[in-house]
Structures are given as C-alpha cells and as structure tokens.
C-alpha cells in the first residue's frame, strides 16, 4: 500500500531550508506519510524523467504546501504546480517562509488560507493539517529548537534578545516622493490621533519639519542651500516648481508597533519614486565583526551570505554593516555601528527584528560593556 503523498512545492533557491524541513517532517511522521520534494535527490531518482515524476506526484498528492519566499514568488513553475494541484481538488496551503509575510502573497495564492512559517507554532500547524487531511494522529510538538534547526534562527514566538529595541539608537530613512508628502504625513498622524507638531507646513519653504509620536520627518523640496525662499526670491531666480521632495525620517525603535503602520500608510499614499534608503544606528555598546575571514566563518551555512562587492545578503535583502569607530583623540566623536540598506517594499515587510536577531545569533554583532566617557 502506497503512503499518502504530501507535495512540497518550492523554488530551488530555498532548497537548503526545505531539505532540513523535509527531514524534520519525516522524523515526525515516522513513515506514515511520504513528503515529495523535487530537489532532494530521492523523490526523483537518477535516470528518470524529471517532468513525469513531478506530474505523477501531483496526481497522487492529496495535500500540497507551497513554500513562498521572495524567490518562489517569482517562479512560474511554483504557480504551475499550485494551479495544477488546485484544479485536481488537492488541498493547497501557502506557507510564507521567513523574509516574507502574508500581506506580500502574490495572486492567486493570496486567495487561499495561508500561514506564516515564522515559528515552532507554525511548524506544528503543518502536522495539524496533515492529520486533518489524512486522518493520522502524528504528534505536533515542534519546539523553538526544531525551528532553529531548519531556519538557522530562533523562533519568533520566543523573545530572542531581551529588549532588542534597546540595542538600536535610531532608525533613519530617506524617502523621495512627489511633492505634498509632508502634508499627507501630518494628515495621517492626526487621523491616528497622534501628537503632531508641524513647522513650516503649508508655508512657501524649501523645508518643513513634523514631530509625532516616536518619529520626526523633515522634508526638503530642493536642496539644503536654503531654509526657505520668499515669493520675490522665487520670482527673481525663476526657479521651477520641484516635482519631487526628499523626506528624512528618524524613527524610535521603541515605538515601531506605532510608527511602522504609519509609515506603510504614508508610503502607500505618496508616490515614492526611488527605493527607500534606511540606516539603523546601533547603541554605543554594539560591536560588529570587521575581519572578513572571521565574518564569513560566522555566517557560513546560515541565511546570510556575502556578495561580490563585500556587502551582505539575507533572503532577497542586500545590506552593508559599518563598524563602530572609537575616538583616536579626546575631541574626536565616537561613531556607532550601523546597518544600511535600500528597499522598495513596505517598511513592515523588511523583517528588521529578525535580521538583527540573526546577526546577533551568528555573533556578527554583539554587546560589550558600557563605553567609558572620555
């Protein structure tokens, strides 16, 4: 009697994580279920037709988990597998891997009941669905350690770094958008009943400033040469009305649960014309690994990799780390460590907490004693 088939649809870029997950599921299922993973070297034996084996597995499957990542979201083959299975009455469950959220699920997968595979609890949901479909009684008792075995980082349901927000001094964003973005920002703050102090809003200035709960926004319409220009100056120089403006945003990490949704709504309303630039400035007590041979050792086998230009990558996000600079002379300033990246997605979808947690777990970043004042 053949075992019931669970089809694991994925992109080849996610092969490493899926191989570990399949092994974990097989140990848990204890031979009651067969998990088909096209890239495991076993589901499709050497010398057999790759296409025919996949079609056969799709025909035999009663359950499919579609593992969605930034890479698989671009894969036509993953959509083909999911569509074929769905048309045959197979239960299709999209699972968002770390690095992507349900809000970013592409159509038509976003029409199905999905799950974010970001914790041990979500791993147990895989087994619960298997039990429901196949009427099995497999125990679903995965732990945060099991989650770390697969994804190389701790369970998001467990606080990986106590008061992690206190490891960050501030988050700086640079956003270029069409004019009027500062007015939109103030309107959103007021609609959310947040404190909002505006300087220069609605006046003929080259710069405006808005202070709200845990966030400040300074908008420049042309350059830093002028704080403002009066009507006569504008007429004299015959300056064209600028189409774009740049907003410098400073965010407190302690109120991200308030400011992140605000920023997402603001970015949706205004027409952002370039990727958003972000700089995370760490607390003075944070240090980073600067030696390339030690850095590459610490990230080996993890979801972090190094690009040819020396920058780092996690999932589909490229970032740069700058080490803290101690003062050489008494009058020199201490420069804290920082992380810099550019992104063209919602601020909430950057998974900043998980990125920083992973960097600390891999000892790329660590905490030292309080820096002495000179």
Residue-wise pLDDT for 287-298, tens only, equals 999 899 999 999
Cα 115 from Cα 96, distance rounded (Å)? 6
Which band of pLDDT confidence, cut at 50, 70 and 90, is reported for residue 54? confident
- pLDDT digits 0-9 by tens, 128-184: 999 999 998 888 888 888 888 888 754 444 444 445 677 899 999 999 998 788 899
- pLDDT digits 0-9 by tens, 225-247: 443 444 444 445 555 556 788 99
In the chain, what percentage of residues exceed pLDDT 70? 84
Q: Are 302 and 310 in contact (CB under 8 A)?
A: no
Cα 73 from Cα 71, distance rounded (Å)? 5
Cα 196 from Cα 187, distance rounded (Å)? 9
Tokens of 222: 């042309």
In the chain, what percentage of residues exceed pLDDT 90? 34
Omega before 108 within 30 of 0, i.e. cis: yes
Q: Over 50: is that where the pLDDT of 216 sits?
A: yes
Considering only residues 99 and 292, tell me which one the structure prediction assigns the higher pLDDT. 292
Which band of pLDDT confidence, cut at 50, 70 and 90, is reported for residue 51? confident
Cα 154 from Cα 161, distance rounded (Å)? 10
Contacts of 55 (CB under 8 A, 6+ apart): none
| Predicted local distance difference test score (pLDDT) of residue 50 | 61
Of the candidates 6, 314, 233, the one whose C-alpha atom is nearest the C-alpha of residue 130 is: 6
Strands (E), 226-292: 244-251, 276-282, 286-288
Average the pLDDT over 67-88 and give the result. 84
Average the pLDDT over 70-97 and give the result. 86
Average the pLDDT over 26-31 and give the result. 88
Tokens of 32: 């009651």
Q: Over 60: is that where the pLDDT of 46 sits?
A: no
- According to CATH, what is the number of the domain 5-151? 3.40.50.10140
| Predicted local distance difference test score (pLDDT) of residue 154 | 47
Which band of pLDDT confidence, cut at 50, 70 and 90, is reported for residue 341? very high
DSSP letters, 294-329, are HHHHHHTTSSEEE-TTS-EEETTEEEEEE--B--SS
Per-domain residue ranges of the chain? 5-151, 164-367
Which band of pLDDT confidence, cut at 50, 70 and 90, is reported for residue 223? very low
Q: Mean pLDDT, the chain, as a whole number?
A: 82
Which band of pLDDT confidence, cut at 50, 70 and 90, is reported for residue 222? low
| Predicted local distance difference test score (pLDDT) of residue 101 | 81
How many Cβ atoms are within 10 Å of 31's Cβ, its own excluded? 8
| Predicted local distance difference test score (pLDDT) of residue 48 | 52
| Predicted local distance difference test score (pLDDT) of residue 122 | 87
Average the pLDDT over 189-211 and give the result. 84
pTM of the model as a whole: 0.56
| Predicted local distance difference test score (pLDDT) of residue 128 | 92
Average the pLDDT over 200-226 and give the result. 77
**How far apart, in Å, are the Cα atoms of 332 and each of 217, 280, 281?**
28, 22, 18
Q: Which residue has the tokens 């998990």?
A: 35
Beta pairing, strands 207-212 & 196-199: antiparallel
| Predicted local distance difference test score (pLDDT) of residue 73 | 77
Which residues on neighbouring strands pair with residue 292, listed in sequence order?
Answer: none
Considering only residues 69 and 51, tell me which one the structure prediction assigns the higher pLDDT. 69
| Predicted local distance difference test score (pLDDT) of residue 265 | 92
| Predicted local distance difference test score (pLDDT) of residue 240 | 58
Average the pLDDT over 198-204 and give the result. 75
| Predicted local distance difference test score (pLDDT) of residue 371 | 47
């Amino acid at each position: 009697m053949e075992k019931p088939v669970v089809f694991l649809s994925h992109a080849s870029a996610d092969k490493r994580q899926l191989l570990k997950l399949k092994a974990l599921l097989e140990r848990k299922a204890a031979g009651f279920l067969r998990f088909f993973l096209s890239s495991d070297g076993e589901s499709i034996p050497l010398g057999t037709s790759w296409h025919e084996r996949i079609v056969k597995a799709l025909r035999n499957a009663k359950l499919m988990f579609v593992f969605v990542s930034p890479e698989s979201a671009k894969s036509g083959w993953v959509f083909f597998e999911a569509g074929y299975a769905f048309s045959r009455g197979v239960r299709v469950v999209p699972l968002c891997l770390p690095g992507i959220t349900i809000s970013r699920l592409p159509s038509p997968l976003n029409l199905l009941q999905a799950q974010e595979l970001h914790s041990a609890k979500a791993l147990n949901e895989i087994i619960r669905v298997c039990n429901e479909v196949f009427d099995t009684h497999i125990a679903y008792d995965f732990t945060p350690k099991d989650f770390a075995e697969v994804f190389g980082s701790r369970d998001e349901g467990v606080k990986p770094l106590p008061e992690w927000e206190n490891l960050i001094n501030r988050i700086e964003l640079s956003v270029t958008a069409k004019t009027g973005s500062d007015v939109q920002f103030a309107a959103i703050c007021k609609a959310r009943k947040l404190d909002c102090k505006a300087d220069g809003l609605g006046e003929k200035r080259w710069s405006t400033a808005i202070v709200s709960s845990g966030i400040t926004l300074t908008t420049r319409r042309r350059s830093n040469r002028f704080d403002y220009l009066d009507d006569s100056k504008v007429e004299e120089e015959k300056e064209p009305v600028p189409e774009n403006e740049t907003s410098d945003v400073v965010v407190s990490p302690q109120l991200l649960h308030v400011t992140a949704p605000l920023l997402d709504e603001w970015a949706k309303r205004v027409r952002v014309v370039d990727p958003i630039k972000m700089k995370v400035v760490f607390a003075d007590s944070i240090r980073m690994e600067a030696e390339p041979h030690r850095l590459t050792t610490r990230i080996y086998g993890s979801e972090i990799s190094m690009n040819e230009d020396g920058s780092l990558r996690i999932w589909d996000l490229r970032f740069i780390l700058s080490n803290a600079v101690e003062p050489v002379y008494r009058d020199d300033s201490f420069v804290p460590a920082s992380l810099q990246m550019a992104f063209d997605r919602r601020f909430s979808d950057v998974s900043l907490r998980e990125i920083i947690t992973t960097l600390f777990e891999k000892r790329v970043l660590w905490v030292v004693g309080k820096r002495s004042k000179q």
